[in-house]
A and B are shown apart, each in its own frame.
Chain A
């Protein structure tokens, strides 16, 4: 019945475009609405510079793990063990730093490597022995949690040396202070310059891509959308940048997070590895018969997840300044929820990095906002659960309608 023989790509109307891309815009709109809501009900506390900084610090590890989890979910799997990996890495980093007195410069790569090994240990069973990832990582979750108790002997270890704490509590120093036009308001010039430069580049890159697309006859989103979207993103980014600049500047974690988001966006949209993971999640048999080593690919998505969970584990441990056996309990659920809120499909093959990041921030803003409002953890859980369900229902509803 598909008998359209025209070779020209038909130009979509604005309405069609909105319908086809409602997921992405909807998500962004939802984040903005949720932020404005909490800004209003918390009487402006949400966007105070100190709270924005907190928001970033509190959510960075969820975002970082969501990057790896998205790949896992797109590949058609799940990883329940990340919370336990976080705890175990926290524990061994404490032992190496505090008990053995090793320098952070050695401990950090060592912990990342251990995380990779933990991911590999699970990836092996999933990829090569074909055991469902749910079971393997459920086992991993228990095993790694148990190991954490074993190595810590049930007692927390802390405090950590300063250099390690910088990982999560450090800020980028203000080496551009001499450019500061208003030192009484702006505390950190680097933050402002960085954000302005980034927004400028984003607009430039967006326009450039549109031009290239036009030259090659591929589809562009309507200009109105492009402009509105850019304007909203730029406004939010500039506002946050300005707020951060009036406080202590850019947290190190924010930089790490931004770099990782950019890297993983690139990997998922432009690289052959990314393309293969999506294809594998869409149809593993067809992908294998297309000459792709799907086992190895699955294995490495788990290794990658382990490394990112290890990074998150160190950030959390440094932030809490103590390694405890109960660290990271339930994190896997926040991370997985972030991916699904962000539009990933539980059956694999579908999902975007930017979606998972926005999903993580939606969860983060809600956590933060509800805490400020003084809502108890009980109702917070309840509300988060409903939001997750609503987001996924929205997906399913859209799909069935289309």
Chain B
């Protein structure tokens, strides 16, 4: 009855030693938004790479039928010619070129190699209008935010006469407003008859937009759910993804809150680049022993900046304010001093800022506290190996050995290595910045369990997260930040998605 635009049948793709896809079948109807979900490593991205020709025909088994015909794509341009456009999670834009140049990169409006600028700008303007972006075509990519960059990617796709748009985690790095705008745009495209495949971890968004949901697990298709028949709950999707009902997404914990560990008073910070702009205003907060404290807020509210300025002045300048630990003032002016004071900061971006990816687990684990496994500047190999093995066992890091390079680990396991590194410095307070971003549900649960263990050991946890359910599920107390200020402090009983949003909105009205 429905027009099937894409059907992938019996797709099997093997990498040396791993069967990434095992007899996967996948059917997409024309003009729908089809969500593809599954834990990390379930095979979603691999399937899309097979479809788009990144893995050429012949390197996999199975058939692809698209637009009613069997197709064999051997390069990406083969699939692009037929209107299959994929937008990867890591955006493929050149930061120092303009929006117009990026949109037509490799596809320039030109004659004899000479670019026709007026036409290029006019076309760009048209495309930008379609995606609802009011920026000049001459604006550099580096000058616009991630949300707008994502829209430029979509405009670029539109410029190529897209029929089937594939978005890999499009909202992973967007705040709620930008995510909503993007999803609305997809729904608008749907009314115009365009087909989209969206890969996402954010189940609430999928529920909002998807017509069908295909769930992959361990390289195989589990099921395809139709969203129009019955209401599909998030728990229903999760059950399909993990293969069992996830009774509770957040492990239970009995908080035993002790004395105040970290206290920050009148923390004022100026912007790193725009040096005369004050970014953080009189931020005050405390973290007590055994307590998990959250900081909620929209992107750009100043949460990461608070953490980084506190951790050895890694961000900002003209930093003033008082920091004390167990009631005594401490010096956190450099990173080594902040570590000595008992702070640890697990960064938001574990690949760029958290790990030395080309080094192995062992080397990453001891990096922050090498002197503990060395005497007179000489590393004791056995001691180091033992430390790394202990953390590997304790945090259940899945790897061949402690000698595996961290670049080859999954996101969840990479995060555990970063946690190992900081636990080995024996901190009193851990600041966790988006600790579960981009990692799958099973691994998230493990990270929450580790957080609970640390709190039970009497450490203070300060957790920054953009996922409100996560904060509500794990924290004893939540600070709400907006525009560089702490605008509310909510107890576990008071905190809810509504109360957090209300605090943000109300503070916005004041200005």
Which residues of A does B touch, CB under 8 Å? 1-7, 9-10, 212, 216, 218-219, 270-273, 275-276, 278-279, 282-283, 285-293, 349-350
Contacts and interface: CB of A to CB of B under 8 A. Distances in A.
A7 B396 CA distance: 10
B363 A273 contact: no
B252 to A, nearest CB: 26
Contacts of A6: 400
B353 interface: yes
Contacts of A282: 356-359
B41 A218 contact: no
Nearest to A345: B358
B270 interface: no
Nearest to B384: A275
A338 B384 CA distance: 32
A287 B354 CA distance: 8
B398 A3 contact: yes
Given A4-B398, A270-B379, A288-B335, A276 B355 contact: no
B377 A273 contact: yes
Most chain A C-beta atoms within 10 Å of own C-beta, residue among B41, B335, B347, B363? B335
B424 to A, nearest CB: 11
Contact of A283 (B15, B339, B355): B355
A13 to B, nearest CB: 13
Nearest to A285: B353
A161 B398 CA distance: 65
B399 A287 contact: no
17 contacts: A1-B15, A2-B409, A7-B393, A10-B400, A216-B382, A270-B378, A272-B371, A275-B379, A276-B370, A278-B363, A279-B359, A279-B363, A283-B352, A286-B355, A289-B347, A290-B335, A291-B368
A289 to B, nearest CB: 6
B400 A287 contact: no
Interface in B18-63: 18, 20, 41
B314 A289 contact: yes
A270 B381 CA distance: 8
Most chain B C-beta atoms within 10 Å of own C-beta, residue among A275, A278, A289? A289
Given A3-B398, A275-B370, A289 B335 contact: yes
Given A271-B374, A272-B379, A278-B359, 6 more contacts: A1-B15, A1-B20, A273-B377, A276-B367, A283-B355, A291-B425
Contacts of A5: 398
Contacts of B378: 270-272
A9 B401 contact: yes
Nearest to A3: B398
Contacts of B335: 288-292
A293 B399 CA distance: 30
Interface string B126-141: 0000000000000000
Contacts of B336: 291-293
A272 B401 contact: no
B358 A2 contact: no
Nearest to B400: A4
B320 interface: no
A284 B357 CA distance: 11
Contacts of A219: 401, 403
B357 A272 contact: no
Given A283-B356, A288-B335, A275 B363 contact: yes
Nearest to B346: A289
B119 interface: no
Interface size class of B (residues with CB under 8 A): 35 or more
Contacts of B312: 291
Contacts of A278: 356, 359, 363
A1 B20 CA distance: 7
A55 to B, nearest CB: 33
SS of A interface (majority): loop
B345 A1 contact: no
Contacts of B358: 282-283, 349-350
A272 B398 contact: no
B410 interface: yes
B385 interface: yes
Interface of B: 15, 18, 20, 41, 311-312, 314, 334-336, 338-339, 345, 347, 352-359, 363, 367-368, 370-371, 374, 377-379, 381-382, 385, 393, 398-401, 403-404, 408-410, 413, 421, 425
A67 B169 CA distance: 46
A-B interface, 8 closest residue pairs, ranked by CB to CB distance from nearest: A282-B356, A290-B368, A283-B356, A9-B401, A272-B370, A291-B339, A1-B41, A291-B335
Most chain A C-beta atoms within 10 Å of own C-beta, residue among B357, B370, B404, B421? B370
Contacts of A350: 358
B356 A2 contact: no
A250 to B, nearest CB: 28
A289 B403 contact: no
Given A1-B41, A2-B409, A349-B356, A287 B367 contact: yes
A286 B354 contact: yes
Nearest to A269: B379
Nearest to B408: A2
A216 B421 CA distance: 22
Contact of B385 (A1, A216, A289): A216
A218 B386 CA distance: 11
B241 to A, nearest CB: 16
A287 B334 CA distance: 14
A290 B354 CA distance: 8
A278 B378 CA distance: 15
A239 B425 CA distance: 50
Nearest to B41: A1
Contacts of A286: 347, 352-356
Contact of B18 (A1, A216, A285, A291): A1
B410 A1 contact: yes
A285 B351 CA distance: 10
Contacts of B398: 2-5
B20 to A, nearest CB: 6
A272 B377 contact: yes
Given A282-B358, A283-B355, A349-B358, A2 B367 contact: no
Most chain A C-beta atoms within 10 Å of own C-beta, residue among B311, B353, B371? B353
Contacts of B41: 1-3
Contacts of B409: 2
A273 B376 CA distance: 11
Nearest to B381: A270
B393 to A, nearest CB: 7
Contacts of A1: 15, 18, 20, 41, 410
A291 B353 CA distance: 12
B356 A287 contact: yes
A282 B353 CA distance: 11
B441 to A, nearest CB: 16
A4 B399 contact: yes
B342 to A, nearest CB: 12
Nearest to A273: B377
B410 A285 contact: no
Contacts of A287: 356, 367
Contacts of B359: 278-279, 282, 349
A9 B335 CA distance: 35
Contacts of A9: 400-401, 403
A273 B403 CA distance: 20
A278 B358 CA distance: 10
Contacts of A291: 312, 335-336, 338-339, 368, 425
B357 A283 contact: yes
Contacts of B18: 1
A272 B384 CA distance: 12
B50 to A, nearest CB: 15
Contacts of B368: 290-292
B414 to A, nearest CB: 11
A5 B358 CA distance: 21
Contacts of A270: 378-379, 381
Contact of A290 (B334, B367, B374): B367
A263 to B, nearest CB: 12
